[in-house]
Amino acid sequence: MNDLETLCKIEEECFTREPFSEEQIAYFLGSSKAVSLKAQVDGEIAGFVLGLIERSGNLLVGHIYTLDVAPRYRRIGIGVRLLEEVENSFRREDAEACVLEVRVSNLVARKLYRKQGYIEHRKLDNFYAKGIHGIQLEKKLKK
Ligand SMILES: CC(C)(COP(=O)(O)OP(=O)(O)OC[C@H]1O[C@@H](n2cnc3c(N)ncnc32)[C@H](O)[C@@H]1OP(=O)(O)O)[C@@H](O)C(=O)NCCC(=O)NCCS
């Protein structure tokens, strides 16, 4: 929570349209079901991931709500590292799978997730706003 201001700044750099608000980020950080991780380079926050452990029927799933790397720290593996670490945290909480949504137009993120074993399994029409469609992705976390 001490990093809230910095996280909001990075979120706004990452998402020029519909970033999570300060209140939403504070909600994720404060939730007892949250898994939130930050990446630091030389003491500076370079990126972060926010997720929640949720129930889906009888199963627990880890749901990633945002994965952000500040523009000056991109393409050096921080996104993949944050993703791997949040998956490990979800596994420790006994989650069977990791799910997330991404904009259809976010080709960079879709490439990263596919490379990390995510399956694009459902199109979500008008998920972000009218005309801004999403895709739901999923990765099994257990054998
Ligand atoms: C998506 C994002 C998190 C990637 O972070 P990153 O630290 O730059 O990613 P990595 O360095 O770990 O890259 C991992 C792989 O993703 C793909 N990738 C990442 N950036 C890419 C780019 N600009 N163009 C093409 N492929 C890219 C590549 O396959 C890359 O592997 P490689 O470098 O070996 O080719 C970052 O671009 C970002 O914060 N974007 C804005 C927010 C966002 O879209 N978040 C995801 C949706 S929630």
Domains of the chain (ranges; CATH) run: 4-140 (3.40.630.30)
What pLDDT, on the 0 to 100 scale, is given for residue 139? 98
Whole-number Å distance between alpha carbons of 11 and 19: 6
What pLDDT, on the 0 to 100 scale, is given for residue 17? 86
What pLDDT, on the 0 to 100 scale, is given for residue 142? 87
Q: How far is the centre of ligand 1, averaged over its atoms, from the C-alpha of 109 (Å)?
A: 6
Q: Which of 134, 112, 131 has the alpha carbon at shortest distance from 121?
A: 134
Residue 2 — very low, low, confident or very high, per pLDDT cuts 50/70/90? very high
Whole-number Å distance between alpha carbons of 98 and 54: 10
What confidence tens digit (pLDDT) does each residue in 7-31 have? 999 999 999 988 999 999 999 999 9
The helix/strand count (H/E) of the chain reads as: 4, 6
Token digits for 32? 């007892």
Strands 119-129, 44-56: pairing is: unpaired
Contact 22, 8 (CB under 8 A): yes
Residue nearest to atom 5 of ligand 1 (CA): 79
Question: Does residue 104 line the site of ligand 1, with CB under 6 A?
Answer: no
Amino acid, single-letter form, for residue 81: R
Q: How far is the centre of ligand 1, averaged over its atoms, from the C-alpha of 95 (Å)?
A: 24
Residue 57 — very low, low, confident or very high, per pLDDT cuts 50/70/90? very high
Whole-number Å distance between alpha carbons of 125 and 135: 8
Token digits for 138? 């999923």
Average predicted confidence (pLDDT) for the chain: 96
Q: Is 74 helix (H, G, I), strand (E, B) or coil?
A: coil
Whole-number Å distance between alpha carbons of 132 and 49: 22
What pLDDT, on the 0 to 100 scale, is given for residue 28? 96
